[in-house]
Structure 1
Amino acid sequence: MEHRNFWLGSLAVASLLLSGCAAAGAAEPGSVASTASESASASETHAAGHSGEHHDAGSAAPATSEGEGPSEAALMVCGTETQDKISTSLGLSTAPHSVSGWADKLFTCTYHLAEGSFVLSVKESADPASARQYFDSLQSKAGDAAPIKGLANLGFPAYETTGGSVVFLKDNMTLSVDASDLPGAVGPNSVTPTAFAYQISTTILACWTEHP
């Protein structure tokens, strides 16, 4: 797999992590590294954690009590801020409809876009060592997985696939963003599915950095 040019350097990455959930500027289309500068507007939210929960545009439901459902960090993938980021990136007038599920410590949020399904998930492992085993297992099963290296991995273990998936590991949480069902050119800037997945994943990671 051809590696992308990570030429934006440390300034873009530092800006991402320090800004957290604050807004950032636009990025060059088609580059996974350049989408880091687009990462923005993903803050702590209260999306529903119940299995099979439906989310209309702008809706939110209370999370389950502590110990019974996903953490607030996991819920961010289906929260209002993430919905807004997806809408902004795709030029949507309203937030996309989504359906969430919670099973076996895996919180999944599926966004139903006009072009296809966009799936975000967070696996909450018992500890960082178990999380690393889960991450390594996912990577070994992905035949076309390539590590995301240098500044673009934001200091975390990460990999991407040519099909449109990006996976990051942070502490005991594994974030998977799957845009493989989307067309080859995504959004008004016609980025690749992998670049779009990277853009949204760094938005969430910025919030995780600000709200650990």
Structure 2
Amino acid sequence: MKNRNHALVALALASVLLSGCGAPSANVGPAAAVHAGAHGHGSSSPAAAVPGGPSDAALMVCGGETMGNVTSILGLTSEQHTVNDWADGTFTCTYHLGEGALEIAVKEAADPAAARTYFDAMQALAKGATPIEGLANLGFPAYETADGSAVFQKDNMILHVDASDLSETLGPDSISRTAFAYQLSTTILACWKEHP
């Protein structure tokens, strides 16, 4: 999507304001286990940040706010099962939805320059990557793909919301999976700004 609909941006920002943001709650489960490169084999509950593990900001993608946004946008009646993993500097949260998996990953680089290099490499390798431009990118390097991914770089982190395993239209409003990935990305980025 080269031209972002202003209504979609307004909807994404409104969902941020209505959902609220927070750091991972204190009563979350044990820290994510380190698994060498395999996704989907980690802890099945959100994790608290630990030395050498993912940051609180990365953990937010598997936390209550993101779960609530997924549930609300898709019109689900209950929260969905998640599996998280921490490997090679990347925290991944996989939401097991009725129609497929939604994967949200946060790569934590050593610094913003390393993050930009990683982001640029991801964009170069992504099939059909289209830069997200103007107000829609919220001032960050960003791109999306027609198959349902949205990727943003903020500081030393790269956020990748991958909805490509889901059907082409989702939820009671029949939004595209790419619009869904974008909407989730922007709500997560807003939480990161509120809780750096």
Tell me the TM-score normalized by structure 2.
0.87
1:159-198 → structure 2 map (5 Å cutoff): 159-198=143-182
Tell me what 1:3 maps to: 2
For residues 62 and 167 of structure 1, what CA distance do their matches in structure 2 show? 24
Question: Between the two proteins, what is the percent identity of the paired residues?
Answer: 55
Change (3 A) 1:161 1:34: farther
1:49 and 2:49 aligned: no
Give the gaps of 5 or more residues in structure 1. 9-27
**C-alpha separation in 1, matches of 2:175 and 2:109:** 32
Provide the residue aligned with 1:154 in structure 2. 138
Match of 2:38 in 1: none
**What is the TM-score when the length of structure 1 is the normalising length?**
0.81
SS of residue matched to 1:53: coil
Asked if the contact 1:116/1:182 (under 8 Å) is kept, the reply is yes
Deviation per CA, 1:153-191, whole angstroms, max 9, x where unpaired? 000000000000000000000000000011011111000
- Distance (whole Å) between structure 2 residues aligned to residue 192 and residue 35 of structure 1: 14
Counterpart Cα distance in 1 of 2:171 and 2:53 = 33
* Alpha-carbon distance in structure 1 between the residues aligned to 2:68 and 2:48: 19
Change (3 A) 1:38 1:194: farther
Query: How far off its partner does 1:38 sit?
Result: 4.1
4+ runs of 1 displaced by more than 6 Å? none
Residues 61 and 171 of structure 1, relative CA distance in 2, 3 Å threshold: closer
1:67-99 per-residue CA deviation (whole Å, 9 max, x = no partner) reads x20000000000011101111111112111100
Distance in structure 2 (CA, Å) of the matches to 1:194 and 1:168: 13
The alpha carbon displacement at 1:44 in A equals 1.4
Separation (CA, whole Å) in 1 of partners of 2:63 and 2:150: 19
Q: Work out whether residues 100 and 109 of structure 1, in 8 Å CA contact, stay in contact via their aligned partners in 2.
A: yes
SS at match of 1:188: coil
Aligned length: 182
Matches of 2:179 and 2:105 in 1, distance apart? 17
Looking at structure 2, the residues matched to 81 and 50 of structure 1 have their Cα atoms a distance apart, in angstroms, of 22
Q: What whole-Å deviation, never above 9, does each CA across 1:111-152 have from its counterpart, x for those lacking one? A: 000010000000000000000000001000012000000000
Q: What stretches of structure 2 of length at least 5 have no aligned partner?
A: 35-41
> 2:151, 2:158 within 8 Å by CA — same for their partners in 1?
yes
Whether the 8 Å contact between 2:130 and 2:144 is mirrored in structure 1 is yes
Three-state SS of the structure 2 residue aligned to 1:112 is strand
Report the secondary structure of 2:170's partner residue.
Answer: coil
1:39 aligned partner, one-letter code = S
Root mean square deviation of aligned Cα: 1.6
Q: Which residue of 2 aligns with 1:101?
A: 85
Q: Does 1:37 align with 2:16?
A: no
